[in-house]
Amino acid sequence: VVVRSPGRVNLIGEHTDYNEGFVLPAAINKEIFFALAPNGTDTLRFFSHDLGESAEFGLNGVSRSDIGWANYLLGVVAQLQGAGLEVRGFDLVFGGNVPIGAGLSSSAAVECGLAFALNHVFGLGLERFEMVKMAQRAEHAYAGVMCGIMDQFASMFGRRDHAVKLDCRSLAYEYYPLDMSGYRIVLCDTQVKHSLASSEYNTRRRECEQGVAILNKHYPEVRSLRDATLQMLERHQSEFDPVVYRRCRYVVSENGRVEEACGHLQRGEMEAFGERMYASHEGLQHDYEVSCPELDFLVDQSRGDEAVLGARMMGGGFGGCTINLVRTEQVERFTERMGRAYGQEYGVELKTYIADIVDGSSLAPQTVAAQ
């Protein structure tokens, strides 16, 4: 079988997923492909086309490996086995064009793609949401990042030319058509990869939990920041550590922004949508403190450029990409100008990608044709 599984962008709603809030991601035309076949043995044989490396593991007693890239695959196998599903030995070649460490969820694409391929080949009968949750747990257990559900959800549930709003508490979701005729989604890749990202990520989660614990004493109905309001926070500010207070203020505000932004999208108010993106960046930079100088520089550069409707850092933070909503006819001028500015400031060539919005994980066209 040949399967494709995409990376994602997130239009707005950052660090809200693990707070049971709202996100607005979309799957993009940066994808990982998997060619997989049962091999009739008790061995898992992996080949990473992009790294030119192979690795073999026994099917029994799957555990975390020293080979970093293999863990995303092993983690998925372990989840399936843990659920009592029968995975047999298989050969796998995989590779693609999702830039690694750029915040486009290459790891979720790998996890979801493998889950999808194994589900198909071994007839496991899993629903998409079950695979999403297994992929997320694989990331927790084998990559050590206590991520929310957004990335895996987007990779599985993306729809061509649509953004999808997910309620990360109820898991209800709704597709919003993206009229891409007038503007494009342009990603500016700082190429910064901070080693702190995963430990800081887990710290943010804990800080949010601390905030919930304070509010819960006064408002028993507050079980996550999803239930909190700015008024509640303000009323009890003196009980908060100032850092925890700012973290919570950001998350509560960002949830509100997703709702507003969806309204703008529905009414075609793209300028207003862009404003919400800038506001999101402000919060991520100053209150949630997950940005970095390179990301801030790129967002600052985009401000005041009439080509740009909105821009913000995207994903977990501390590096990776900014997402920019850019008027179609000015995309080239924009990427050139940004590249020049970034080069002058940091002496690094800026990578830019134009993201098209595609469907979530699926059989690749060649597999569909052969069946």
- Total residues binding ligand GLA (CB under 6 A): 10
Report the distance separating Cα 336 and Cα 347, nearest Å. 15
- Residue 27: its H or E element: strand 25-38
C-alpha distances (whole Å) from 202 to each of 144, 199, 229, 365 are 9, 5, 23, 38
For ligand GLA, the closer CB: 131 or 150: 150
- Residue 38: its H or E element: strand 25-38
Of 300-359, binders to ligand GLA (CB under 6 A) are 315-316
- Residue 235: its H or E element: helix 230-235
Phi, psi of 21 (to 5 degrees): -100, -150
C-alpha distances (whole Å) from 85 to each of 74, 93, 110, 123 are 15, 22, 20, 10
For ligand GLA, the closer CB: 149 or 307: 149
For ligand GLA, the closer CB: 253 or 330: 253
Minimum Å gap between C-beta 145 and ligand GLA is 6
**Residue 137 zone, left/alpha/beta (φ > 0; ψ -120 to 50; rest):** alpha
Q: Does 15 bind ligand GLA (CB under 6 A)?
A: yes
Catalytic residue, chosen from 151, 189, 227, 287, is 151
Of 108-127, binders to ligand GLA (CB under 6 A) are none
Q: What angle do CA 182, 190, 350 make, to 5 degrees?
A: 70
Q: Rule CB under 6 A: choose which of 4, 6, 11, 14 binds ligand GLA.
A: 14
Report the distance separating Cα 351 and Cα 198, nearest Å. 23
Q: Stretches 11-19, 51-59, 270-278, 331-339: which one binds ligand GLA (CB under 6 A)?
A: 11-19
Minimum Å gap between C-beta 152 and ligand GLA is 8
For ligand GLA, the closer CB: 15 or 249: 15
Q: Is 151 one of the catalytic residues?
A: yes
Q: Rule CB under 6 A: choose which of 11, 18, 118, 313 binds ligand GLA.
A: 18
Q: Does 75 bind ligand GLA (CB under 6 A)?
A: no
Report the distance separating Cα 181 and Cα 38, nearest Å. 44
Minimum Å gap between C-beta 325 and ligand GLA is 18
Q: Stretches 13-21, 56-64, 274-282, 340-348: which one binds ligand GLA (CB under 6 A)?
A: 13-21
Of 133-192, binders to ligand GLA (CB under 6 A) are 147-148, 150-151
Beta-bridge partners for 173? 166
Q: State the pairing for strand pair 25-38/43-48.
A: unpaired
Minimum Å gap between C-beta 205 and ligand GLA is 9
Q: Rule CB under 6 A: choose which of 4, 17, 246, 297 binds ligand GLA.
A: 17
Minimum Å gap between C-beta 197 and ligand GLA is 9
Q: Stretches 10-18, 30-38, 208-216, 334-342: which one binds ligand GLA (CB under 6 A)?
A: 10-18
Report the distance separating Cα 130 and Cα 192, nearest Å. 33
Nearest CA to 148 out of 16, 13, 280, 246 is that of 16
Minimum Å gap between C-beta 316 and ligand GLA is 4
Question: What positions carry a catalytic annotation?
Answer: 151
Q: List interacting residues with ligand GLA (CB under 6 A).
A: 14-15, 17-18, 147-148, 150-151, 315-316
